[in-house]
Structure 1
């Protein structure tokens, strides 16, 4: 069994109060229940908007600079994720497809180092 990150991507201006309705919440709950029932879900977590992040960068003098906002300046950021343990990438992709439908958002599936 291998572990995979299944990450949901949201645009910078994503507002869950606007984008997420009862049907979406229900679909995500059903997906979570199915992952638990299948024994593949290791961890799940939703993230606050990227603007709430702190970026840390090591400096040549050994200090660490802390700044407001995400590390990367992009139009999309990870909005939430699952860590799954599945037999292979194909099974992880099957769960990723379900996540894309339930979350109504782009999904990235990436294996962890073994």
Structure 2
């Protein structure tokens, strides 16, 4: 079964948009984690994403022809004292079950020092 594993990040408290903010230690830990996934035959694909402001949402349901520049979900600048989160990157993993996905998600969270969302691919 394949799993989509989203890496959740937030802007710095200043609200300044940046991408690729991983420290050298975080990047090295993610590289090591990726190598473990590859060696176990669990890694399918991974990528980082540009900042949400570079997103474009297209809605042509019923021929509406709507185009929205920016992310699908606009989050207020600060929610409960925290900068808004966005998907900063993702993995696709090939795993036997949910328990394995959750165990690896804990490892991924530690490696990249970010929150992780795990979703089975239908």
Q: TM-score range by the shorter chain?
A: 0.7 to 0.9
Aligned to 2:98: 89
2:12 matched to 1:4? no
Aligned to 1:79: 88
CA root-mean-square deviation: 1.6
How many pairs does the alignment contain?
A: 110
Structure with the largest fraction of strand: 1
For residue 24 of structure 1, give the secondary structure of its aligned residue in structure 2. helix
Tell me the alpha carbon deviations over residues 9-54 of structure 1, each in whole angstroms, 9 at most, x when there is no partner.
Answer: 111446346x422111100100110110010011111101111111
1:15 to 13, 18, 27: 18
Task: Show structure 1 runs of 5+ residues with no match.
Answer: none
Instruction: State the TM-score, normalized to the length of structure 2.
Output: 0.82
In 2, the alpha carbon distance for the partners of 1:26 and 1:100 equals 14
Asked if the contact 1:56/1:71 (under 8 Å) is kept, the reply is no
In 1, the alpha carbon distance for the partners of 2:103 and 2:19 equals 25
Tell me the alpha carbon deviations over residues 73-108 of structure 1, each in whole angstroms, 9 at most, x when there is no partner.
Answer: 132111100000101001111111111111111100
In 2, the alpha carbon distance for the partners of 1:105 and 1:49 equals 16
For residue 94 of structure 2, give the secondary structure of its aligned residue in structure 1. strand
2:50 to 26, 48, 51: 48
Task: Show structure 2 runs of 5+ residues with no match.
Answer: 76-83
